[in-house]
Chains A and B, each alone.
Chain A
Amino acid sequence: MTHAVISCLHANLAALEAVLDDIDQRGITTITCLGDLVGYGPQPNEVVNLVRERAIPSCQGCWDEDIIEGLNSCECSYPSQLAERRGHQAHQWTAEQLSEENKAFLASLPMSLRRDRLLFVHGSPNSQHEYLLPDMDAFAALERVQTADADTLFCGHTHRPYVRELRDGVIRVRVQAPTDPQSPAEREMALPVRRIVNAGSVGEPRHGNTHATYVIHDEATGNVEIREVPYDVERTCRAIVEVGLPPVFAWRLRHGFEYAERADDASHVCER
């Protein structure tokens, strides 16, 4: 079966429509969404409505959680005071706009979805806030997939799509116990082959241009295609200004910069 995985829609309707068109044109009917349906963008209700109409199974992103629970991510998730203030402004605006029904929908989203040996999460199996960047420590990356008991882990949150395969792993250890300190026991663990697939971002790309990104996975061949989809960026930029969000959000989107920069520390997990 061939299925599509989308993530980080961020209330960008034009981008979501373009991506869904692209998926439809390929005749793909199974779509999974990795969360962050809202946040920063100008059409939170429209985007949530479209995901609901299409009955796309979604897990909850950090923005979806914060909109329901109130801001409870720690300050460290923002790299600067400026990013934090803008994030809070976007949060407040989004919380005011979202209908109660859509808030209830976001609240109902699960932290993860599982299909056979495929696991779908927003950030990592540990946390919606953890960034699995493509260059993170390979053993730590493998540990995330292995501990979650999956073969392939689909994640988002970083807004940069990638496919990472971890293979030929082995760890040798020497264990010394107090009862027999002079003859340590040696053992070896052969690590399984595992994959991490990051679906990028539909509504707030940060891979160098303005195109929306998502991935298509062919379960039969194992092939993963990273798709780039151009869309009407100006339509979203106009909407940002019209609804009264900071015009600098439109400028950043138009230039392919994220609204607020990502946290630099790849392995950082909020202690909440």
Chain B
Amino acid sequence: MSQTLLISGPPGCGKTTWILNQIQSHPGPCGFLRLVGYPDEGLLQARDGGIDLVWLQDQCPGLLDLADPDKALAPRAAKLLALIELPQFQPPTDSGLAGVDRRAIPQLEALHLSPDAHLHFGRDAALPHQDTLDFSSLQAWGRNLAGAVWDPASLSSFWFELVNGAYGDVYRAKALMNLPDGRAFFCNWMVSREGSQFLPLQTLASPDGRPQRLSRLVVQGKDLDPAAIEVTLADCLLSDAVLELQQAPLRQRKAPPHPSPAA
């Protein structure tokens, strides 16, 4: 029997990690949808820009994209586990399905999705307990990094500065970043957890120019300084000439390299 779950919670509470665990332990087919989320008073939702979907599809080959309208009307596979992620700062006022944010309903209906259950981080015991933060006022900033390739050591320095407050009070940062050797990393940091995650994607690009896949940085916090971030980004990203210099020897080697992670 198929099941459709709506998972909501504030930024950085662990929604995507929980969903990844569900998909990996579900024997049948799985689908995923990330709803945009709705700004509450003074709190801006960060535009994820597809980071979660790309990361989950990389980790779980065959994962269905439930946002694809062409497939919305197609018959759903038996035993499909459909997981819908909804960023939501405040806990729902009503329990169960009655608590689903009304603003999300038209979007769900358009995609022919009707949740069987709604779980919210911090409310439902079925979800792991997290230290949920008090977000009194939150800015969000995102940067499309399509085609951008990082100097690995510079990425490490930039990320260190970013999450330690050099560009404002960052609560949450996540990104997909390209390295010159064809690897990409899912970078993930939240103020409530120790340390950053740098998880390599399974999918490698060939070291042949700029990769075509999605690459994006999303930051949430207070007093963010996007102009200063841009200045640092410009000093971290590789020019065509330097990229070619680093990729040319890799192309001569047949096998893809496996150096240690960037950070």
Contact = CB atoms under 8 A, between A and B. Distances in A.
The binding surface of chain B is classed by DSSP as helix
Given A248-B166, A251-B161, A82 B238 contact: no
A81 B164 contact: no
A4 B164 CA distance: 35
Contacts of B157: 80, 82-83, 261
Contacts of B236: 80-82
Interface in B216-240: 228, 231-232, 235-236, 238
Contacts of B164: 255
Given A80-B151, A80-B156, A247 B235 contact: no
A201 B122 CA distance: 48
A255 B161 CA distance: 11
A80 B166 CA distance: 18
A82 B158 contact: yes
A81 B228 contact: no
Contact of B153 (A81, A246, A248, A251): A81
A268 B202 CA distance: 35
A251 B157 CA distance: 13
Interface in A64-80: 79-80
Contacts, number: 40
B161 A81 contact: no
A26 to B, nearest CB: 36
Nearest to B237: A81
Given A246-B231, A248-B232, A261-B157, A81 B238 contact: yes
Contacts of B158: 82
Interface of A: 79-83, 85-86, 246-248, 251-252, 255, 261
17 contacts: A80-B153, A80-B154, A80-B157, A81-B151, A81-B153, A81-B236, A82-B153, A82-B154, A83-B153, A85-B235, A246-B231, A247-B228, A248-B228, A248-B232, A251-B161, A252-B166, A255-B164
Contacts of A252: 161, 166
Contacts of B231: 246
Most buried by A among B151, B153, B156: B153
B161 A248 contact: yes
Interface in B139-169: 151, 153-154, 156-158, 161, 164-166
Nearest to B151: A81
Interface in B157-208: 157-158, 161, 164-166
Contacts of B166: 248, 251-252
Nearest to B233: A82
A62 B134 CA distance: 48
Most buried by A among B156, B157, B238, B242: B157
Contact of B235 (A79, A82, A251, A261): A82
Sort A-B residue pairs by CB-CB distance and give the 6 closest, nearest first.
A80-B153, A82-B154, A81-B151, A85-B235, A80-B154, A251-B166
Nearest to A83: B157
B263 to A, nearest CB: 11
